Structure 1
Amino acid sequence: MPPEPELDPMGLPVEVRRVQPYEATKTYMCPGCNRDIRPGEGHLVAVPIDAPDLRRHWHRGCWANRATRRPGRLR
């Protein structure tokens, strides 16, 4: 039996994947803090079960605290 999917901040089921530092080759914007995730920085990717093309890259800390913080603070 596969593991239960986690929920994103909107309550939608997502598969969470780890990206190791050596795999991170692009810059992404974290939706939890609106800051850059730079190349070479380990992070997580939340992939919606029903819409995999809408995946989002998150800092590990932002993902862990997603339930207790407001989405995306301004720069």
Structure 2
Amino acid sequence: MPRSSSSRRANKWARPHRELGASLNSVPRAAEGPDGTWVVQQVRGSSSGKVYTCPGCLQDLPARMDHIVAWRSEEEFGFNTGVGARRHWHRACFRSRPPR
């Protein structure tokens, strides 16, 4: 039986982009470290089903875990850097990252 067009899920690529902090759970803050200044946001776990790769340990990081989203503030736009520069880190991996 064919499905009616009203029962189809909306295409996520056709939706407008969300603001950078829209799905994150804290206000971005600057964090100084031996490897420079980072913009950091704490993220509570969600049931989105996504899996990220932590740049610290290169292991899977399921979205259901609390974690950190961070990017370097020295990037071209700093606090306003786009989604492409964000990285999802395990909290321990971000805290123990080596200097540049």
TM-score, reference length from structure 2: 0.51
Q: Which runs of 5+ in 2 are unaligned?
A: 1-28
Partner of 1:60 in structure 2?
91
Give 1:39 shift: 2.8
Mapped to 2, the partners of 1:47 and 1:61 lie a distance apart of 16
Mapped contact 1:29–1:57 kept (Cα < 8 A): yes
Larger Rg: 2
Mapped to 2, the partners of 1:24 and 1:66 lie a distance apart of 27
CA offsets 1:10-56 (integer angstroms, 9 cap, x no match): 52x32100110137642111000001101311100003332522011
Tell which has more relative contact order, 1 or 2 (C-alpha 8 A, sep 6+). Answer: 1
Does the C-alpha gap of structure 1 residues 45 and 8 become closer, same or farther in structure 2, counting only changes over 3 Å?
Answer: farther
Moved over 6 A (4+): none
- The aligned length equals 65
For residues 22-41 of structure 1, the aligned pairs below 5 Å read: 22=46, 25-41=49-65
Does the C-alpha gap of structure 1 residues 37 and 6 become closer, same or farther in structure 2, counting only changes over 3 Å?
Answer: same
State the Cα RMSD in Å: 2.8
Does the C-alpha gap of structure 1 residues 58 and 14 become closer, same or farther in structure 2, counting only changes over 3 Å?
Answer: same
TM-score, reference length from structure 1: 0.66
Mapped to 1, the partners of 2:40 and 2:47 lie a distance apart of 15
Identity %: 34
Give 1:6 shift: 1.7
Mapped contact 1:24–1:41 kept (Cα < 8 A): no
